Amino acid sequence: MDTARSHYDVVVVGAGPAGIFAALELVRRDGAAVLVVERGPDIGGRACPARQTGVCAGCEPCDITCGWGGAGAFSDGKLTLTPDVGGWLDQFVGRERLRRLICYVDDVWTGYGAPAEVHGGGREWERIRKEALLHGMTLVESPVRHMGTERCHAILTRMREDLEGHVEVLTGRRVERILVEKPAGAADLRAAGVLLEDGTRVTADAVVAAPGREGAAWLVDECRRLHIGLRTNPVDIGVRVETSAAVMEPLTTALYESKLVYHTPSFDDPVRTFCMNPYGAVSLENYGDVITVNGHSYAGFKTDHTNFALLVSTDFTQPFDDPIAYGKSIARLANVLGEDIIVQRLGDLHRGQRSTAERIRRGTVHPTLAGATAGDLAFVLPYRHLTDILEMLAAMDKLTPGLNSRDTLLYGVEVKFYSARPELDAGLQTPVTDLYAVGDGAGITRGLVQASVAGVLAARSILGIGDVDLPAPDGATGDRSAQQPAPTAGDPSVPPAAG
């Protein structure tokens, strides 16, 4: 498929939440000519075989992490509505502006069908926070809207349909590199478009790089080629914990998702809970050359299990500057020993023995991830990480008795790759004029909401408009998730805001 034109106002590289929200904002506010290039398939063509079999088929690119909607299309669909979770955008725009922007993108998500109910906060949160403090843990306040995996997919489909005819989308096409030029008399380079892998050159007045975690390494390579400074982010390495839903109900009934942080006695390392999925299932995630574990839950279907990640954050110092390679090396070891993912009973890990399929079968918690190999995570995780995780489980058992028990399952490994962060200004523009970097792949966000905000920020920077200049988005009233929005009055080329 060829592009409809050779020049655009803006080219967006990547169709995850950051790229989608950049495109939405650009056409709503300005009717800009926008091209979105995505290496994965369109939303209707995404289908992961591992969802049914539990065994990764090695699709290239991975349908879980690539395609319209990014990794968010198959995620649990949590919208975390606080500046304290989901990224580092407060370092660029300040906490109060970030709060306002979070409210703005939340309105857009709800306009497309995200549920009205918000979990967390209130008296129950305060009670659990105090109890957690007694056991050395900090409970981060994180109100959350839970869309559910199937609803998240439907909402992203509506966004795609809403942009049809207003934004050109190229799926299944990879951007080889960002084109730059140095205008006569200018001191700095400026972005001039992109070069696709088939040799097609597309010029543009601005480029928004939103490659997602899958494209993080590509963005790092491009930054180095263009001499853009990079800052190394931490790498989070850990396991996916699966237990009976009844064990976790003291937390999940009150809060749905609990963001607990614990500094371990042995090493004083920060360990945190992440992506808690009440009544959910464990899933796979493919990063090209490695397979990692993840989790999700549906809005309309429940299992008898709850799963969540325990992640140890590690910041490396000189001379090592490649945390992604470190995380992948650990994940690759699990892939070699476990034929992708290892699952182990906590009791077996405590006793220093590998789990067997028979021992897991006799337990009270049965794996929701088909195809995981019973094994021994002590052969995979570094001693320091393993010690941190076991100490965190012991602390959490004070809040949720029964978690630190024999039959609790640990899947390994789970790794969150936060790309090296390019040098950016408050509008998320790099030192290369008119080149912006946004989302998880740029190392500045790690969740749906702040990734969406990053896309909005870049779009507003391109348009040269600030928050105070913007009216609330136009949109239909009532149950907008069931309606197809009409174009903004006076300009049939611009789709309306949905929030």
In whole angstroms, give the CA distance from residue 453 to residue 390. Answer: 35
Helix (H, G, I), strand (E, B) or coil at 233: coil
- Beta-carbon neighbour count of residue 390 at 10 Å? 19
Name which of 67-71, 360-364, 376-380, 427-431 the model is least confident about: 67-71
Listed residue (62, 403, 60, 69) closest to 239, CA to CA = 403
Averaged pLDDT, 35-52: 81
Instruction: Identify the band that residue 63 occupies on the pLDDT scale cut at 50, 70 and 90.
Output: low
- Is the pLDDT score of 383 beyond 70? yes
List strand residue ranges (DSSP E) for 129-247, in order: 137-140, 144-146, 168-171, 175-181, 190-196, 201-209, 230-231, 235-244
Instruction: Identify the band that residue 208 occupies on the pLDDT scale cut at 50, 70 and 90.
Output: very high
Residues 432, 190 contacting (CB under 8 angstroms): yes
In whole angstroms, give the CA distance from residue 32 to residue 204. Answer: 11
In whole angstroms, give the CA distance from residue 271 to residue 273. Answer: 7
pLDDT at 490: 30
Q: Which residues of 176-189 are buried (b: 16+ CB within 10 A; e: fewer)?
A: eebbbeeeeeeeeb
Give every CB contact of residue 336 below 8 A, 6+ residues apart in sequence: none
- Beta-carbon neighbour count of residue 383 at 10 Å? 10
Structural tokens at position 22? 């950049």
Helix (H, G, I), strand (E, B) or coil at 84: coil
Characterize the bridge pairing of strands 175-181 and 190-196: antiparallel
Task: Provide the residue type at 449 as one letter.
Answer: V
Q: Percentage of the chain surpassing pLDDT 70?
A: 90
Over residues 310-345, the pLDDT tens digits come to 999 887 777 777 777 888 999 999 999 998 999 999
Q: For 201, list phi and psi in degrees, rounded to 5.
A: -105, 125
Residues 382, 239 contacting (CB under 8 angstroms): no
Pick the more confident residue, 442 or 287: 442
pLDDT at 493: 30
Averaged pLDDT, 150-169: 92
Listed residue (131, 127, 129, 130) closest to 139, CA to CA = 129
Listed residue (149, 185, 438, 410) closest to 299, CA to CA = 149
Give every CB contact of residue 400 below 8 A, 6+ residues apart in sequence: 247, 248, 250, 251
Structural tokens at position 386? 């393993």
Residues 437, 2 contacting (CB under 8 angstroms): no
- Is the pLDDT score of 186 beyond 90? no
pLDDT at 451: 96
- Whether the ω angle into residue 401 lies within 30 degrees of 0, i.e. cis, is no
In whole angstroms, give the CA distance from residue 386 to residue 299. Answer: 33
- The dotted CATH code for 7-117+148-231+420-482 is 3.50.50.60
> Hunting for tokens 């939405």 — which residue is that?
24
- Is the pLDDT score of 30 beyond 90? no
Over residues 399-458, the pLDDT tens digits come to 999 999 999 999 999 998 776 899 999 999 999 999 999 999 999 998 899 999 999 999
pLDDT at 161: 94
pLDDT at 49: 66
- Beta-carbon neighbour count of residue 422 at 10 Å? 26
Would you give the DSSP letter of residue 267?
A: T
In whole angstroms, give the CA distance from residue 448 to residue 442. Answer: 14
pLDDT at 232: 80
Averaged pLDDT, 55-84: 78
Instruction: Identify the band that residue 57 occupies on the pLDDT scale cut at 50, 70 and 90.
Output: low
> How would DSSP label each residue in 372-401?
PEE--GGGTS-HHHHHHHHHHHHHHTTTST
Pick the more confident residue, 410 or 60: 410
- Is the pLDDT score of 471 beyond 60? no
pLDDT at 306: 97
Instruction: Identify the band that residue 478 occupies on the pLDDT scale cut at 50, 70 and 90.
Output: very low
Instruction: Identify the band that residue 66 occupies on the pLDDT scale cut at 50, 70 and 90.
Output: confident
Rounded to the nearest angstrom, the gap between the alpha carbon of residue 464 and the centroid of all alpha carbons in its chain is 28
Whole-prediction pTM? 0.82
pLDDT at 56: 66
In whole angstroms, give the CA distance from residue 331 to residue 291. Answer: 7
pLDDT at 482: 33
**From-to residues of CATH 3.50.50.60 in the chain:** 7-117+148-231+420-482
Vertex 293: Cα angle to 224 and 442 (nearest 5): 25
